[in-house]
């Protein structure tokens, strides 16, 4: 997605070979017009997949997932990262380890929000190791849904997540597949159009 790549090059910052800072438009301050275009693009890419629900992981996936659900005309469900006291019954959980943040959390869903037969599009801001996506897919399947697609706003394809998910048979689309990074250097793969 050219608009997104341009934004990343102009406003993103590669801190090193691993970490891309995008907090001025994606995961701290949010460019809502860009999010709208991102939602439109995911809706276009997955228009024939029969999607009945968009699912994301709090917190930075919420903005792109909301816009995607809006453009697809389906509900959006947020997987929580902890079990709150009021989330008592019918809860499905799985542990996810974040390599970037070096912590684990309990990905959590109230089961009734994904029904048997739901065809789910899982949207997240970053795809890195793939742990969050595998955790999300695990929960969706246990709730009775089918993972019909996975969409990453940005994928760091030099890290293993993209390959792991595709090897597992998932259809994965990235709007900005990064092939290489270094301090102040960001390069994209050109196979996403």
**Binding characters for ligand G4P, 81-100, by CB under 6 A (x = yes):** -----------------xxx
User: Which range touches ligand G4P (CB under 6 A), out of 39-47, 85-93, 112-120, 123-131?
Assistant: 123-131
The DSSP code sequence of 4-62 is HHHHHHHH-EE-SSS-EE-TTTTSSS--HHHHHHHHHHHHHHTTTTT--EEEEETTTTH
Taking CA atoms, 96 is separated from 15, 78, 100, 102, 105, in Å, by 25, 15, 12, 11, 5
Place of tokens 């009021």: 86
Question: Which one, 74 or 96, has the nearer CB to ligand G4P?
Answer: 96
Q: How far apart are CA 3 and CA 5, in angstroms?
A: 6
**Binding characters for ligand G4P, 18-57, by CB under 6 A (x = yes):** -xxxx----x-----------------------------x
Beta bridge partners of 146: 119
Question: Which one, 92 or 181, has the nearer CB to ligand G4P?
Answer: 181
131 is a site residue for ligand G4P (CB under 6 A): yes
**Binding characters for ligand G4P, 148-167, by CB under 6 A (x = yes):** --------x----x------
Residues that bind ligand G4P (CB under 6 A): 19-22, 27, 57, 59-60, 98-101, 125-132, 156, 161
């Amino acid at each position: 997605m050219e608009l997104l790549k341009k934004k990343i090059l102009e406003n993103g910052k590669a801190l090193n070979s691993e970490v891309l800072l995008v907090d001025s438009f994606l995961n701290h301050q949010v460019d809502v017009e860009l999010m709208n275009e991102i939602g439109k693009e995911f809706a276009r890419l997955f228009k024939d997949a029969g999607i009945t629900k968009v699912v994301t992981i709090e917190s930075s996936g919420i903005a792109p997932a909301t816009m995607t659900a809006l453009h697809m005309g389906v509900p959006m469900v947020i997987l929580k990262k902890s079990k709150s006291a009021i989330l008592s019954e019918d809860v499905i959980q799985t542990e996810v380890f974040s390599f970037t943040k070096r912590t684990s959390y309990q990905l959590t869903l109230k089961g009734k929000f994904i029904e048997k037969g739901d065809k789910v599009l899982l949207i997240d801001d970053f795809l890195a190791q793939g742990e969050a996506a595998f955790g999300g897919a695990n929960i969706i399947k246990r709730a009775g849904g089918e993972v019909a697609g996975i969409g990453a706003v940005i994928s760091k394809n030099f890290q293993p997540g993209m390959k792991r998910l595709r090897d597992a048979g998932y259809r994965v689309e990235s709007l900005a597949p990064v092939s290489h990074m270094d301090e102040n250097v960001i390069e994209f793969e050109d196979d996403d159009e």
